[in-house]
Structure formats: structure tokens, C-alpha cells
Structure 1
Amino acid sequence: MTSTTPLKSIMFATALTFGLGATAATAAEKFVLDSSHSQVIFNYDHLGFSTTYGMFSGFEGEIMFDEADPAASSVNVSMPVMSMFTGWEQRTGHFMSDDFFGAQEGDLVTFTSTAIEVTGEDTAKITGDLSMNDVTKSVVLDATLNKVGDHPMAGKPWMGFNATTTLMRSDFNLGAFAPAVGDEVEVMISLEAMKAE
């Protein structure tokens, strides 16, 4: 990054760039997700008649970043499969069945960043490993930094992001009833993270 790079871009890269440099790791600062204000919303086509939505919330994760060396930063997130909310108990139960996740207590969906490309003053493409249903695939998130600054009520540094991606559920062995029920799943992510104590 040159000296002309906007400050917001530097903060964005700092917060999300994944690095392999162990020597700078000790300078990284830890931010943890605010589970009460972090959600993943997904939707898919249902037989061409409607768009059906679901959500994961209350998940955990952390961002380790070093303002002086963004290449030493990383981000990872995990959420219990069984925390999924669909708004209809029978649908949620079906998703947890052997037709889809065959979910058991403790099963997780995880994302770990592997690369970042800053694309604008407050935008970036974040590549990472998404693991669910015993399958790991590389995915790209189109991310936007919403805000970095002191939280007015918590009184400490805070940051917030939005991101989107599109997944093929069959890539994760979740392709039951495709293509009648859409294989393509649109994913919208919004999260907040606070500086760790």
C-alpha cells in the first residue's frame, strides 16, 4: 500500500487481511464478534413460486489484526448448524435431517480467511475456506466496511461489516430436491466486532 491509500482502505485491509507472517503475530490486536449483532441470512428459490429465507445468529468468531502489518491479520467465524432459524419448525427439522445436514449437537459451519483483495475505499473480496457438512470449499465474499470507531455505549473500539456471496448447496452435499428447489443459495452477512478485553 502506498502513502496515498485512503485511511479507510488501510483499516479495512488491516481488519480482514489473512497473513502467514508469524513474526508480526505478537503485534496483532484481537477483536471478537458481537454475537447479538451478527447474522447470516440465506435465501433460495422454492419451485419457482417463492424465495425462501433462513438465518444463523448468535455465532462466534474473531479478527486478529495488526495496524502496522495488515499481512499478519486473520479472520475466522464459526456457528452451530443447529442454530439455524427458518421461521417454520418443520422446515428447520427437515434441514437437520439426513436429507440435508444430518445435524448433531456440536456440528459447526466455519469460515477461515485465506486472502484479501482490496477493491475500493471500503470494499474488498475476501477469499476463505468455508466448511460445512464435512465439506470444505474456497469461497469469495464481497465485503464492505460499514464503520470503525468507538462504540458510543460500550466505550471501546468497534467495527462492522457487510458481505455477500453465492453458494451452490450441492457443493456441500446438500443438494436434495435440486433443481426443483434452487441449488443456488444467496448469502448475506452482517456482523459487528469489539476489541477484546
Structure 2
Amino acid sequence: MKPFPASRLALNLALGLALCGTARAQTPPTRDPAQIQAGTYAVDPGHTQVGWRVSHMGFSNYAGGFSEVSGTLALQPKDPAAAKLSIRIPVASVATTSAKLTDELKGAQWLDAGQYPEMTFVSTKVVPAGKDRATVTGDLTLHGVTKPVTLDVTLVGAGVNPLNKKFTVGFEATGVLKRSEFGVKTYLPLIGDALHLTVAGAFERQD
């Protein structure tokens, strides 16, 4: 067996150190709105989640979620009030830890995914509430009913995704709606009327 040349060993070591240095030098996400790139963003469906929780007979706060979210976000960091958000959520994507309950929620007694396949949110007003926060009011359509809902939104971080090299911005949004106002009244008041929403949203800038 031929000995491994010292020069090649040194070269490989240098390359390894360079790669490690590049990984360490990766710029971390920023929470400074001034560093966010203006433009139109699309939802990253693989890393966006819509969670919900509701009181279960007063004994527990039962949680579930939706997935396969799509939509767009228009951002102008110098004019945050001009931001526009449009989100679509397939109702049939609802999921819980109980397969039986998940099927029930998709049915006519609850969300009726067959007749109302999508839940949508379209912003109508954005009010900055500090450097990295805002309240976003919009029209939420659920179960065939459209009503205004306000979300409290916080910037989580923005920067270049080190894996796909796309400029990405992430937000967390929270809000509360009354399901009875959208015609979903099954088991009231045993099952709570207040539906607490949490949105972990990731958006990628479009070229």
C-alpha cells in the first residue's frame, strides 16, 4: 500500500477547515426589519404550520393543525403598513392525534371539507406595533362565512436559507375567533367556542 502523500493530506485538511469556516461564517437570521429584502414572497409549505386549540369540556385545551398552506406576502420594509398577505389552507389537511376525530372534523357536522374545501385569509390592514411586530386585520373565510379577524404578528427572523440559498422571512401570528360565528356550532358549549390560532409562517422571496 502506498503511503498517503503528505501534500494531499495537507490539502484535504485545508479544504475541510475552509468548509467548516464557511459553515461557521453563515450569517444568522436577523430580526432587523431594515435588512429584509423588499418584494413578493411565497409561502414555504414544508415549513409553514397553522395550529389551533380549543377547550375540551373545560378539562383540557385540545390542539390540532392544518398543513399544505399556500399564499403570497408582499413586503416593503420601509413601509410596513403597505404589506399584503393572502393565505389558502386546505380544510381537508386538518389533523389531530386521533384518526377518528380527524375524520369527524372533515365531515359535514364540523368543517365540511367536501362543501367548503378551503379556508382563506386576505389582509385588509397592517398596523406596525414596534420594530418587529404588527397587527394584521383581514377577511377570514371559513365554512362559507367571511368575517374580519385580527392577528398579532411577530417577526421571527429573515435571511438567506443556507440550504436552498433563497432569501426567507419567518413570522409567528396568533389570534382568536369564535367558531360559532362561522357556522361551526357542534357541541357548544361543551366544546369551546373560542378557537385559538397560531401560525408559524415561512416565506421565500420570488425572483
TM-score normalised to the size of structure 1? 0.82
1:139 has 2:149 as partner:
yes
Do residues 47 (structure 1) and 57 (structure 2) align?
A: yes
Q: 2:199 matched to 1:173?
A: no
Q: C-alpha displacement at 1:105, in angstroms?
A: 7.5
1:157 deviation in Å? 1.1
Structure 1 residue 175: Cα displacement: 1.5
Assess, with a 3 A threshold, how the Cα gap between structure 1 residues 156 and 169 changes in structure 2: closer, same or farther: same
Are 1:54 and 1:87, in contact at CA under 8 Å, matched by a contact in 2? yes
CA deviation profile, 1:126-173 (whole Å, cap 9, x unmatched)? 001100110001000000011121112121211000010011110110
Following TM superposition, by how much is the alpha carbon of 1:189 offset from its aligned partner in structure 2, in angstroms?
Answer: 0.7
Which of 95, 114, 119 is the equivalent residue of 2:124? Answer: 114
Please give the per-residue CA displacement for 1:11-61, whole angstroms capped at 9, x wherever unaligned: 78xx9xxxxxxxxxxxx7221111011001101111112211110112101
- Gaps spanning 5+ residues in structure 1: where? 1-6, 16-27
4+ runs deviating over 4 angstroms: 9-12, 67-72
Q: Which of 170, 173, 183 lines up with 1:163 in the alignment?
A: 173
Q: State, as a whole percentage, how many aligned pairs show the same letter.
A: 32
Deviation at 1:70, TM superposition (A): 4.7
RMSD of aligned Cα (Å):
2.1
Q: Quote how far apart the aligned CAs of 1:68 are.
A: 5.6
Q: Is the 8 A contact 2:170 2:200 kept in 1?
A: yes
Structural mapping, 1:1-197, within 5 Å? 8-9=32-33, 29-67=39-77, 70=80, 72-104=82-114, 107-197=117-207
Scaled by the length of structure 2, the TM-score of the pair is 0.78
| Equivalent residue, structure 2, for 1:21 | none
Rg larger in structure: 2
Cα distance change on mapping 1:49 and 1:74 into 2, 3 Å: same
